[in-house]
Protein backbone atom coordinates (compact mmCIF):
# COMPACT_ATOMS: atom_id res chain seq x y z
CA UNK A 1 0.00 0.00 0.00
CA UNK A 2 1.43 3.38 -0.99
CA UNK A 3 0.23 6.47 0.79
CA UNK A 4 1.55 10.03 0.50
CA UNK A 5 0.27 11.40 3.83
CA UNK A 6 -1.54 9.06 6.22
CA UNK A 7 -0.34 9.63 9.81
CA UNK A 8 -2.19 6.60 11.17
CA UNK A 9 0.24 4.33 9.29
CA UNK A 10 3.20 6.09 10.87
CA UNK A 11 2.09 5.70 14.47
CA UNK A 12 5.27 5.58 16.54
CA UNK A 13 7.64 6.05 13.61
CA UNK A 14 7.47 9.84 13.93
CA UNK A 15 7.18 9.83 17.72
CA UNK A 16 9.59 9.35 20.56
CA UNK A 17 10.26 5.59 20.51
CA UNK A 18 13.32 3.86 21.93
CA UNK A 19 15.80 4.22 19.04
CA UNK A 20 17.87 1.28 20.24
CA UNK A 21 14.99 -1.05 19.33
CA UNK A 22 14.72 0.10 15.71
CA UNK A 23 16.47 1.31 12.58
CA UNK A 24 15.75 4.32 10.43
CA UNK A 25 18.16 4.28 7.48
CA UNK A 26 18.37 6.53 4.43
CA UNK A 27 20.29 5.23 1.41
CA UNK A 28 21.66 8.49 0.03
CA UNK A 29 23.65 8.73 -3.20
CA UNK A 30 22.47 12.02 -4.72
CA UNK A 31 20.85 13.87 -1.78
CA UNK A 32 17.64 14.10 -3.80
CA UNK A 33 14.79 11.61 -3.46
CA UNK A 34 16.78 9.04 -1.50
CA UNK A 35 15.01 5.84 -0.42
CA UNK A 36 14.72 5.14 3.27
CA UNK A 37 13.47 2.39 5.57
CA UNK A 38 12.04 2.64 9.08
CA UNK A 39 11.55 -0.52 11.17
CA UNK A 40 11.10 -0.94 14.92
CA UNK A 41 10.70 -3.97 17.18
CA UNK A 42 7.63 -2.54 18.93
CA UNK A 43 5.72 -1.39 15.81
CA UNK A 44 3.71 -3.51 13.35
CA UNK A 45 4.64 -1.73 10.11
CA UNK A 46 7.81 -1.19 8.09
CA UNK A 47 7.85 2.09 6.17
CA UNK A 48 9.77 2.54 2.91
CA UNK A 49 10.10 5.88 1.12
CA UNK A 50 9.79 9.53 2.01
CA UNK A 51 7.77 12.72 1.58
CA UNK A 52 8.90 13.44 -1.99
CA UNK A 53 8.43 9.98 -3.50
CA UNK A 54 5.63 8.79 -1.23
CA UNK A 55 5.54 6.01 1.35
CA UNK A 56 4.98 2.29 1.11
CA UNK A 57 3.80 0.63 4.31
CA UNK A 58 4.47 -3.10 4.78
CA UNK A 59 3.48 -5.56 7.48
CA UNK A 60 6.65 -7.08 8.92
CA UNK A 61 5.89 -10.56 7.57
CA UNK A 62 5.51 -9.28 4.01
CA UNK A 63 8.68 -7.21 4.34
CA UNK A 64 10.54 -10.29 5.59
CA UNK A 65 9.31 -12.31 2.59
CA UNK A 66 10.56 -9.60 0.21
CA UNK A 67 13.97 -9.45 1.92
CA UNK A 68 14.32 -13.24 1.72
CA UNK A 69 13.49 -13.15 -2.01
CA UNK A 70 16.06 -10.40 -2.57
CA UNK A 71 18.71 -12.35 -0.65
CA UNK A 72 17.90 -15.45 -2.72
CA UNK A 73 18.60 -13.48 -5.93
CA UNK A 74 15.06 -13.31 -7.30
CA UNK A 75 15.58 -9.82 -8.74
CA UNK A 76 19.23 -10.08 -9.78
CA UNK A 77 18.50 -10.53 -13.49
CA UNK A 78 16.68 -7.17 -13.53
CA UNK A 79 19.55 -5.20 -12.01
CA UNK A 80 22.64 -4.39 -14.05
CA UNK A 81 26.05 -4.41 -12.37
CA UNK A 82 27.43 -0.96 -11.62
CA UNK A 83 24.03 0.71 -11.84
CA UNK A 84 23.89 3.73 -9.50
Tens-level pLDDT at each residue, the chain (84 residues): 444 444 445 555 555 567 788 888 887 777 666 778 888 888 888 988 877 778 888 999 999 999 999 999 999 999 876 545
Domain extents for the chain? Answer: 2-77
Please say whether the beta carbons of 46 and 58 come within 8 A. yes
What's the Cα-to-Cα distance from 64 to each of 34, 49, 55, 61, 71, rounded to whole Å?
22, 17, 18, 5, 10
Amino acid sequence: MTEKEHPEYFEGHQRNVNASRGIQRTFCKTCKTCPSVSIHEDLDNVILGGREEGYTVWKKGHFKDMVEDIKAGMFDKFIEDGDD
